[in-house]
């Protein structure tokens, strides 16, 4: 394939598949075209316009997320016109609400010093709960966007804090639509959508109800994909910053699907859970239990050692003692009353392989067909 049959991006020729967008080709070849609205697995919308690129012989800049690659197309992703447009777009976004993102002009200060003096620059006493972990903030710093060109439009809607797991701060919403796509296209819950028009537009549940009174199942997919601080986990908001935590990858224990997730750990305590993106079987998606049901980890009532009941009370035992006790009692009951006096009840919170082992244990070792699953009860 010669260069005439390829797409040229920033002077380099790349092959592409039919129907592949400029953004996809660039990403596959490690060219960073920024975007705020694009969501993998959902149809591109071009809402944010941050991903615009310059294409030779085209009159206007075009969004790379929904412009298909063509043979012989020559694309510039960081030309002066593109950078100028992105700065303007980011300035407009910063004017849509409470985005005290620590934005400033050019300076020799490094990023850490800049962050430490954030309130001095922003003249704000309330920092965004995702400060330091915000895509809009990253882009504003990347393109050195200065505030003040456009007046703050504000928002007529109060913060929604009545939901059990999610805080919705409409003053920080940039209306990128990622939450709507995540809810409707990825999770297929169809609980939220765009509502109203003009300066009154916002993301709403049916009949503009609060989430707890809507069809929302609180899977938290919208929180994970939100690029700013408009959607935040209620228990995490202002309690921990992302750089204070360590991410530990593990497998969700609530069912046998095996969803991959990150435990965000601070001071040896899990303070947040997020899905591992681009990895099967869940590709970042989680259910309400997987994302928010982690309080049991640190419950004072959680068993940390085997317990054996003697004379009506439980005492702590070693694993060897507990397993020996179980094996002895199984043998005694089977000898006295026969194998069908025993039964095995498995759990949805173990893997398919562990359920298979339980089945073999019941039928091959205990010699009984009395095996069932807790999901049937």
CATH number of the structural domain spanning residue 73: 3.10.20.740
Angle at 243 between CA 132 and CA 236, to 5 degrees: 85
Q: Would you mind telling me the total number of residues written for the chain in this entry?
A: 377
Question: How much is the pLDDT for 252?
Answer: 92
**Is the same domain home to 33 and 81?**
yes
Distance CA 310, CA 201 (A): 65
Domain-located, residue 310: no
Token duo for residue 264: 């965000």
Question: What CATH number does residue 177 fall under?
Answer: 3.30.70.20
**Is the same domain home to 115 and 60?**
yes
Question: What CATH number does residue 250 fall under?
Answer: 2.20.25.90
Overall domain count for the chain: 4
- What residues does 68 pair with on adjacent strands? 21
**Is the same domain home to 122 and 195?**
no
Domain-located, residue 329: no
Cα–Cα distance list, 203 to 128, 134, 177, 237, 332 (Å):
19, 19, 8, 20, 63
**Is the same domain home to 365 and 252?**
no
**Is the same domain home to 214 and 249?**
no
Domain-located, residue 314: no
Domain-located, residue 319: no
Domain-located, residue 302: no
Question: Last residue of a domain, which of 207, 239, 271?
Answer: 239
Domain-located, residue 305: no
Question: Last residue of a domain, which of 85, 116, 142?
Answer: 142
**Is the same domain home to 192 and 232?**
yes
Question: Last residue of a domain, which of 210, 239, 268?
Answer: 239
**Is the same domain home to 73 and 173?**
no
- What residues does 233 pair with on adjacent strands? 166
Which residue range(s) make up the domain with 286? 244-294
Domain-located, residue 358: yes
**Secondary structure of the chain as H, E, C letters:** CCHHHCEEECCEEECCCCCCEHHHHHHHCCCCCCCCCCCCCCCCCCCCCCCEEEECCCCCCEECCCCECCCCCEEECCCHHHHHHHHHHHHHHHCCCCCCCCCCCCCCCCHHHHHHCHHHHHCCCCCCCCCCCCHHHHHHHHCCCCCCCCCCCCCCCCCECCCCCEEECHHHCCCCCHHHHHHHHHCCCCCEEEECCHHHCEEEEHHHCCHHHCCCCCCCHHHHHCCCCCEEECCCCCCCCHHHCEEEEEECCCCCCCCEEEEEEECCEEEEEEECCCCCCCCCCCCHHHHHCCHHHHCCCCCCCCEEEECCEEEECCHHHHHHHHHHHHHHHHHHHCHHHCCEEECCCCCHHHHHHHHHHHHHHCCCCCEEEHHHC
Domain-located, residue 33: yes
**Is the same domain home to 91 and 62?**
yes
**Is the same domain home to 178 and 250?**
no
Question: How much is the pLDDT for 121?
Answer: 46
Report if pTM > 0.85.
Answer: no
Show pLDDT as tens, one digit a residue, over the chain (377 residues).
Answer: 566 789 999 999 999 999 999 999 999 999 999 999 999 989 898 899 999 999 999 999 999 999 999 999 999 999 999 999 999 999 888 887 777 665 544 444 544 454 455 445 444 446 788 888 899 989 988 998 866 666 566 678 999 999 999 999 998 999 999 999 999 999 999 999 999 998 889 999 999 999 999 999 999 999 999 999 999 999 988 788 888 899 999 999 888 788 999 999 999 999 999 999 999 999 999 999 999 999 999 999 999 999 999 999 999 999 999 999 999 999 999 999 999 999 999 987 787 888 899 999 999 999 999 999 877 65
**Is the same domain home to 231 and 342?**
no
**Is the same domain home to 251 and 206?**
no
**Is the same domain home to 134 and 97?**
yes
Question: How much is the pLDDT for 37?
Answer: 96
């Amino acid at each position: 394939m010669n260069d005439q049959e390829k797409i040229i991006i920033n002077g380099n020729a790349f092959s592409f598949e039919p129907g592949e967008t400029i953004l996809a080709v660039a990403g596959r070849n490690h060219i960073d075209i920024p975007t705020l609205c694009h969501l993998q697995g959902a149809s591109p919308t071009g809402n944010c316009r941050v991903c615009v690129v310059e294409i030779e012989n085209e009159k206007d800049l075009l969004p790379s997320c929904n412009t298909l690659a063509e043979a012989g197309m020559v694309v510039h992703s960081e030309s002066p016109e593109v950078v100028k447009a992105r700065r303007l777009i980011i300035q407009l976004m910063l004017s849509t609400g409470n985005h005290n993102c620590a934005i400033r002009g050019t300076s020799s200060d490094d990023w850490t010093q800049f962050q430490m003096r954030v309130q001095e620059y922003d003249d704000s006493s309330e920092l965004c709960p995702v400060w330091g972990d915000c895509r809009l903030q990253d882009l504003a710093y990347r393109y050195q966007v200065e505030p003040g060109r456009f007046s703050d439009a504000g928002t007529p809607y109060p913060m929604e804090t009545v939901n059990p797991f999610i805080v919705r701060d409409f003053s920080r919403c940039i209306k990128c639509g990622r939450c709507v796509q995540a809810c409707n296209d990825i999770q297929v819950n169809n609980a939220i959508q765009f509502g109203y028009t003009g300066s009154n537009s916002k993301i709403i549940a049916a009949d503009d109800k609060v989430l707890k009174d809507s069809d929302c199942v609180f899977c938290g997919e919208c929180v994970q994909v939100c690029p700013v601080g408009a959607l935040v986990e209620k228990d995490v908001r202002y309690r921990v910053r992302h750089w204070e935590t360590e991410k530990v990858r593990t497998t969700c224990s609530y069912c046998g699907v095996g969803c991959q997730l990150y435990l965000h750990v601070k001071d040896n305590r899990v303070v947040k859970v997020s899905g591992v993106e681009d990895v099967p079987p869940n590709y970042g998606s989680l259910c309400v239990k997987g994302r928010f049901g982690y309080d049991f980890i640190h419950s004072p009532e959680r068993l940390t050692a085997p317990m054996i009941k003697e004379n009506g009370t439980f005492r702590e035992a070693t694993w060897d003692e507990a397993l020996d006790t179980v094996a002895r009692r199984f043998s005694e009951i089977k000898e006295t009353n026969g194998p069908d006096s025993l039964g095995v009840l498995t759990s949805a919170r173990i893997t398919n392989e562990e359920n298979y082992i339980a089945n073999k244990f019941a039928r091959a070792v205990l010699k009984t067909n009395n095996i069932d699953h807790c999901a049937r009860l």
